[in-house]
Structure 1
Amino acid sequence: MTPRLTLRAITKRYPAVIANDQVDLTVLPGEIHAVLGENGAGKSTLMKIIYGAVKPDAGQMCWNGTPTTIENPSAARQLGVAMVFQHFSLFDTLTVAENIALGLPAGTRLDELAQRITSTAAEYGLELEPQRHVHTLSVGECQRVEIVRALLAKPQLLILDEPTSVLTPQAVEKLFGTLRKLAAEGCSILYISHKLDEIRALCHTCTVMRSGKVTGVCDPRRETAASLSRMMIGAEPPAMQHVDRQPGETVLSVTNLSLAKSHPFATQLTGVSFEVRAGEILGVAGVSGNGQQELLAALSGEDPRAESATVTLHGEPVGRMNAAGRRARGLGFVPEERLGRGAVPELSLAHNILLSHQTSATVRFGMVRFKAIAEIAAAVIRRFNVKAAGPHASANSLSGGNLQKYIVGREILRAPTVLLVAQPTWGVDVGAAAQIRAELLALRDAGCALLIISEELDELFEISDRLIVIAKGRVSPSIQRADATIDQIGQWMSGLWSDVDSEASHAQA
């Protein structure tokens, strides 16, 4: 069988690193081929080379047996290559339909395209509103746009980078069924994921990369999660030590919080009530776009429209207090958007420290203490093993996973009494994910109250003490992690919790 794609000795050098070092890769027609590696291993660079977004310094590419040079993404799309990037390539001021139209032939009618988007999204279980502006979407909803845009192109090769992080377990199964159907029809799929169980369940072949080089090729169906981890990072991730503890007093309380939509496509919050106590982790499950963004904005102070008494911090009403006031009272916050909100892309890692560390140690008499912020940045890099050229490296020079480690580490070093975290390990390799989760548990054990929003149910079950679900702007009763099941939480993510569940869960809480 003639391979769909063949790479030979692909090399890409940057000033501080060799991103791809003599990489070989072969993908057959109808094959679902995983590319596995820790953050910074060179996976994303390799995918961008295939898609024409990055030019290699050396090596050869063959497409359907013919030597090929892909000059740009437009040429890649003409060949039949579609890609869903980890960092999205969407214009905030355009609608979903307008963004998708940019990759289609000139003259495409937007009304017909909107119908195709709606039908394709429904077919794959990815809810989308074609007329909605991208700046009103959550990160998860942006990922849905990228996936639907790729599927509309009916590609010969589909590149997917972390495609399931926004889906319920049921939707993941539906997407897997779709991908298997595409593969059976001859479409080749390059699948990047840090979820080893997904790779073992879905993929036919797995190429493992480490430090820019290929370290092995295997059939993941014949491997265990532990053996794949050893191939990827040279060791198994440390076992998680989650010891149940008796929580302390209530630190963050939300009582009957209702907020009207801040824009036409926002989610209205209705009657949201819960509490987070010192020394516990409250996990919030839910499909992206069900009010997570709006809830975090109300809790962090980005949206100070709530009635003052509906949100209390250490017993003090803060519903109308701004973000700076809440930070001064011990609140920390890790947003889901890394670039643009969690970090300023063009600024150095040291300068990005100022986004959350504005104290007398970093700013005195209105003057920034540059040595101090560089030392804090260096401490985050060391403690969290961030792969970066140093404190003066720009935030956008880091891979997605390394930037996530940096942002989480920056907040943890503040020693907050309350920490809000959205998607703590999205796009982070298994070793780094284990480290972040261990640090969050250590913060809990030190008495911090943590609220963690994640679409990763396995993650929530691993680190949470209690769980709630958010669906359509409403919040379920809380349930002890030990009493919950993934199937039950998956059903609740569709808004299906009953009065019986409510009474039982309140009693357990």
Structure 2
Amino acid sequence: MTALLKLEGLTKAYPGVVANDDVSLQIAPGEVHALLGENGAGKSTLVKMIYGLVKPDAGHMQMNGTDFAPSEPSAARAAGVGMVFQHFSLFDALTVAENIALGMEHAPKMRDLARQIREVSETYGLPLSPDRIVGDLSAGERQRVEIIRCLLQEPKLLIMDEPTSVLTPQEVEILFETLRKLSAEGTAILYISHKLEEIRALCDTATILRLGKVVGHCTPRETTARDMAEMMVGKVLSTPTRSGVTPGEVVLELDRLSLTSPSAFGMPLREISLKLRAGEVLGIGGVAGNGQDELLGALSGELVSAPGMIRLKGREIGTTRPIARRAMGLLTAPEERLGHAAAPDMSLTENAMLTGAARENLERRGFLDWPAARGFAERIIEAFDVRTPGPANAARSLSGGNLQKFVIGREVLQRPEVLVVNQPTWGVDASAAAAIRQALLDLATAGAALLVISQDLDELMEISDRFAALNEGRLSDPRPSAGLTVDEIGLMMGGAHGMEVAHV
């Protein structure tokens, strides 16, 4: 079949790194084509060139046999390319229809657009009301807004970047049915994901990038997830392991923790109770927007709670500020790495200083010890294989996965007594995810208590001793992770934890 999109010799270099090096691939109409690679392999740069966000230094592209060199995203869209980004670009205070109109070059009248949204959403099994306020939507519904915005422009090629990172298993299946329908109608799909079992279930072919170069192709259905992961990283992967540890004393206790969200579209916490013991890993699942950020904020000290609701080693800390909690051994790593966990324009050394000053003795008598901070940053970079020219580089210069490794490594190396982390392996490749999970398990083995918030159910089942689900700001009773099925967990995440999910 004639290629819909053909890339030949695409090359793009930045100071100190070649992001794409002579990359060539073809995508046929109706093909679901996976783009695989570890963090920093060049996937994002490649799709940005296709979508007109980046101009290649060398090579050329063809769409339907004619030269294709979009100077901006609007030119790419005009040629039939749509893209659903990993991070949603939506305005919470506007309606679904208003958000979609903002992303269209020539939006129709609102009445006509609303009709089109209803028709397209029903046709592709993504029911959505054009009149709903986006701030009131779940993460899965927000993704539908982004997809429908693309589908209204009738794309020939749809690029999906980590589309299932915020979805329940049930929502993933709905999305896959939509993509299969689009594929059957002739729409090509370029699919980026670190979830390799999803790649095997959905994709027809895969191109593997490593260090900016194409290192192989495969048919996902005929290739194991481990084999694909090892092609990506060029080495044999190790499976995270843990020595048996008997949980110790309760170190963190929440007693009917309730608080309002500082965001107008946030989720209040409603009477959350739990006990976390030394050496234990408690996994908390839930669809994004159900109180994860508020829970981490309450534990980090960024949000103040009423007295008596949070105790650390028996001591009330509801009104204790973040720096004091860190000194006491309670460390946290939030989901939003760029802007929350790390200051974008600060160097890695400066970012190491931000959270490590107290526990790593990076300040003495009111003076900051920058050589010591640089040494701490270098230890993080080496221990967690952070791909960067050095600690003087700004946080924003790192790929998302490498910054994630730095953020997690910064907290792990401070030897916390309690570590609370939200989405520890979000956006990282299989090798890096395994390394991060092993580091967390090693912490627990050493006696630390871990509370891991994640939307990756496989991750939670792999590392957690007990599991609970957040839904609308409420936490289910923790259950032993062993024996729980993915279907049961998905139902708990969707709010069914008040019923006998084992018999659903």
> Which TM-score tier does this pair reach, normalised by the shorter chain?
over 0.9
Distance 2:376 2:152 in 1: 46
Which residue of structure 2 aligns with residue 507 of structure 1? none
Instruction: Report how far residue 140 of structure 1 moved.
Output: 7.8
Which residue of structure 2 aligns with residue 83 of structure 1? 83
1:329 paired with 2:328, answer: yes
- Deviations 1:103-150, CA, capped at 9 Å, x for gaps: 2124555676577668867843789985345xx999888766544543
1:47-446 equivalent positions in 2, closer than 5 A: 47-87=47-87, 89=89, 98-106=98-106, 108-109=108-109, 123-124=125-126, 130-132=132-134, 146-304=146-304, 306-359=305-358, 361-446=361-446
Instruction: Report how far residue 496 of structure 1 moved.
Output: 1.0
Query: How many residue pairs get matched?
Result: 500
Instruction: Report how far residue 6 of structure 1 moved.
Output: 0.2
Distance 2:220 2:379 in 1: 37
Kept in 2: contact 1:465–1:480 (CA 8 A): yes
Identical counterparts, % of pairs: 52
SS of residue paired to 1:30: coil
Instruction: Report how far residue 367 of structure 1 moved.
Output: 3.0
| Structure 1 spans left out of the alignment, 5+ residues | 503-509
Kept in 2: contact 1:140–1:289 (CA 8 A): no
Which residue of structure 2 aligns with residue 459 of structure 1? 459
Letter in structure 2 aligned against 1:271: E
Which residue of structure 2 aligns with residue 30 of structure 1? 30
SS of residue paired to 1:298: helix
Kept in 2: contact 1:128–1:144 (CA 8 A): no
Letter in structure 1 aligned against 2:314: G
Letter in structure 2 aligned against 1:465: D
SS of residue paired to 2:198: helix
Letter in structure 2 aligned against 1:335: P
Q: 1:257 to 1:23 in 2, by over 3 A?
A: same
Kept in 1: contact 2:53–2:73 (CA 8 A): yes
Q: 1:501 to 1:71 in 2, by over 3 A?
A: closer
Kept in 2: contact 1:229–1:430 (CA 8 A): yes
- Deviations 1:39-96, CA, capped at 9 Å, x for gaps: 1111110010000100000001000111121111111111121112345555788776
Q: 1:40 to 1:87 in 2, by over 3 A?
A: farther
Q: 1:137 to 1:107 in 2, by over 3 A?
A: closer
SS of residue paired to 1:468: strand
Instruction: Report how far residue 98 of structure 1 moved.
Output: 4.9
Q: 1:113 to 1:188 in 2, by over 3 A?
A: same
Distance 1:188 1:282 in 2: 41
Letter in structure 1 aligned against 2:133: Q
Distance 1:26 1:500 in 2: 49
Distance 2:237 2:96 in 1: 39
Distance 1:445 1:126 in 2: 46
Letter in structure 2 aligned against 1:333: T
Distance 1:240 1:201 in 2: 24
Name the Cα RMSD after superposition: 2.6
| Alignment TM-score, normalising by the size of structure 2 | 0.92
SS of residue paired to 2:494: coil
Letter in structure 2 aligned against 1:447: G
SS of residue paired to 1:267: coil
Q: 1:130 to 1:221 in 2, by over 3 A?
A: same
Kept in 2: contact 1:141–1:289 (CA 8 A): no
Distance 2:268 2:313 in 1: 26
- Deviations 1:354-381, CA, capped at 9 Å, x for gaps: 2211227322343322212111111111
Q: 1:107 to 1:220 in 2, by over 3 A?
A: closer
Instruction: Report how far residue 484 of structure 1 moved.
Output: 1.6
- Deviations 1:419-446, CA, capped at 9 Å, x for gaps: 1111111111000000000000000111
| Alignment TM-score, normalising by the size of structure 1 | 0.92
Q: 1:146 to 1:499 in 2, by over 3 A?
A: closer
